[in-house]
Amino acid sequence: MKFKAMTAIAALVISTPFMASADADDDQLVVNGEIEMITKAPAPAHLADALDEVISGWHMRSDETQEMQADDFDNPAMIFVEQAQDDWNTVMGTKDKSCASCHDNVEDSMAGVRTVYPKWNDAKETVYTMEMQINDCLTDGMGADAWKKSGAKMARMEALISVQSRGMPMNVAIDGPAEATWEQGKDLYYSRTGQLDLSCASCHEENYGNRIRSDHLSQGHINGFPVYRLKNSKLTTPHGRFKGCVRDTRAETYKPGSAEFIALELYVASRGNGLSVEAPSVRN
Amino acid sequence: MKLSTLTLAAIMTAGAAIAGPVAPADVVFSEGAVAASLSGQPGDVANGAKIMSSKKLGNCIACHEVTALSEAPFHGEVGPLLDGVGDRWNQAELRGILSNAKLTYEGTVMPAYYKVDGFNRPGKAYTGKAADGPLDPLLSAQQIEDVVAFLMTLKDE
């Protein structure tokens, strides 16, 4: 905070070329000219001591990147959504079923689903990510093989399901039976790791809006996930992103699908409660 | 690992006359500052500038803006502007901030460049895998001295 003020003053006084404007811009995201996205919202109650406002990472990206996300024809992630639509209708496994056999039209059956994941699964008595639910459908429901955690097929199916909730605010439950997992996720969020000794909060809570090398730090929300990354032209899942960020602290990472990343996903998702589902978003 | 062998060699060859590099665990801090050169040698200003700009070495400009290094791309804004830092701190204090900034700034996000233990889940550099042996410090004793020498040149006229 203190240093944000300092850097802002420094920028005004010397205005060197490499000091581009910090902080979030005031642009508005309306997808396809019709879906109005909530990209800034009052922080959820559980974050009140840390943040006043939650801000989508979309605001930290360049105008060109932002525009790609504003129209499905320009959004390179939509091709993966189309592929997942084919998967949705494809019969797989020993029970001769497709996703559509149980869930009919994805547009109707999956609307709103993304806003509440990860969520407590009563039957399994544990917090479920969307990925875990998809794999249960594949194995138990369809007699098919599970998909690789955070793999390409999984990411695109998550994208297809998430698209059906675009514009709706994230609303993950953090109390009741999910609370212990949420607390574990919160601990992980604030735990420093690696030889650089940084936590998620070091970058995404204490320094959002600041540049770190060429990157403009966001608050690290996952309302836009899976996200299409221009740097590798692929969809990235939340666990894939977490892994990269932990690796960048010179730490031993956790594995995608691990209990730690499930807890972290619940916690990080809850920090973005109130922001619209933006998936599939476009980032660098 | 590399460094402790070095220290040993230095002690054996140089005897008591010149102190060799101080191992990270043996650095003596006094209120965050470190009085003696870590390598026993003076620092090289030009090399210090290189270390600060290089992504593979100090990568200091990832977080700090430094006008004297404005040729190098991508200065960050996570830490304060370092212009004039040679007036704000003396050599011993800068050496201390570099070696372990947390002893000067409690809870800072600035990494400790001359520290090898006490980390949570230390990795093997940026591979994401567990470290497979003792860690090397982020910068060597001489590299720290080089950076300190460069920082001492950052004075407001």
Spatial distance between the Cα atoms of A20 and A183, rounded to a whole number of angstroms: 37
- Report if residue A206 sits inside a domain: yes
Rounded to a whole number of angstroms, the distance from the CA of B98 to the nearest CA of chain A is 13
Is the same domain home to A13 and A84?
no
Long-range (24+ apart) CB contacts under 8 A made by B65-71 are B65/A7, B65/A10, B65/A16, B65/A18, B65/A19, B66/B154, B67/A14, B67/A16, B68/B153, B68/B154, B70/A16, B70/A18
**Do residue A205 and residue A227 come from a single domain?**
yes
Same structural domain for residues A51 and A185?
yes
- Write the pLDDT tens digit of every residue in A229-276: 999 999 999 999 999 999 999 999 999 999 999 999 999 999 999 999
Residue pLDDT, tens place only, A179-231: 999 999 999 999 999 999 999 999 999 999 999 998 999 999 999 999 999 99
Do A141 and A10 lie in a common domain? no
> Is A198 close to B111, i.e. CB distance below 8 A?
yes
Residue A172 to residue A217: CA distance in whole angstroms: 24
pLDDT attached to residue A24: 80
Instruction: Give residue-wise pLDDT tens across range B72-85.
Output: 988 999 999 999 99
Question: Which tokens in the block code for residue A190?
Answer: 């604030």
Q: Does some domain include residue A188? A: yes
Structural domains in chain B, sorted by start: 28-114+122-152 (1.10.760.10)
Q: Going by DSSP bridges, is the β-strand pair A281-283/A227-229 parallel, antiparallel, or unpaired?
A: parallel
Question: Position of tokens 């140089």?
Answer: B14
pLDDT in tens, A53-76: 999 999 999 999 999 999 999 999
Catalytic residue among A8, A245, A251, A258: A245
Region A91-102: mean pLDDT is 97
User: What is the value of ipTM here, to two decimals?
Assistant: 0.89
Contact B126 A250 (CB under 8 A): yes
Same domain, A63 and A149: no
Contact A248, A156 (CB under 8 A): no
| Rounded (10°) CA dihedral B59, B64, B69, B74 | 70
| Segment B8-32, tens digit of pLDDT | 444 444 433 455 799 999 999 999 9
Say if CB A227 and CB A75 are below 8 A apart: no
Q: What residues of B are in contact with residue A3 (Cβ under 8 Å)?
A: 77-80
Whether A199 is in a domain gets the answer yes
Q: How far apart are CA A163 and CA A113, in angstroms?
A: 10
Residue where a domain terminates, one of A141, A163, A185: A163
A168 assigned to some structural domain: no
Residue A20's pLDDT band, with cuts at 50, 70 and 90, is very low
If asked whether residues A194 and A272 sit together in one domain, one would say yes
pLDDT of residue A14: 35
Give a yes or no: residue A136 inside a domain: yes
Per residue in A25-54, pLDDT (tens digit) is 889 999 999 999 999 999 999 999 999 999
Same structural domain, A83 and A46:
no
pLDDT recorded at residue A50: 96
pLDDT of residue B14: 41
pLDDT at residue number A25: 86
Is residue A231 included in any domain, yes or no? yes
Query: What are the residue ranges of helices labelled H in B30-138?
Result: 45-53, 85-88, 91-99
Same domain assignment for residues A187 and A253: yes
Q: Which domain-ending residue is among A139, A163, A187?
A: A163
Token duo for residue B157: 């006229």
Q: Which pLDDT score, from 0 to 100, does residue B18 have? A: 54
Q: What is the pTM of this model?
A: 0.90
Asked if A179 and A254 sit in the same domain, the reply is: yes
At A169, the pLDDT band (50, 70, 90 cuts) reads very high
Q: Which residue of B has its CA nearest to A210?
A: B77
Residue numbers in B near A247 (CB within 8 A): 123, 126-128
CATH code where residue A274 lies: 1.10.760.10
Domain with A149, as residue range(s), is 78-163
How high is the pLDDT of residue A19?
A: 35
A188 and A249, same domain (yes or no): yes
Interface check for B134 against chain A (CB to CB < 8 A): the answer is no
Q: Does A20 touch chain B (CB under 8 A)?
A: no
Substitution target in B60, B77, B103, B110 with the highest count of A β-carbons within 10 Å is B77
Decide if A166 is catalytic. no
Mark the ranges of chain B whose per-residue pLDDT is less than 50.
1-2, 5-6, 8-17
Q: Mean pLDDT, chain A, as a whole number? A: 92
Give how many domains chain A has, as a whole number. 2
Last residue of a domain, one of A163, A187, A206: A163
Buried b (16+ CB within 10 A) or exposed e, B72-82: beebbbbbbbb
Pairwise CB contact (< 8 Å): B78 & A3: yes
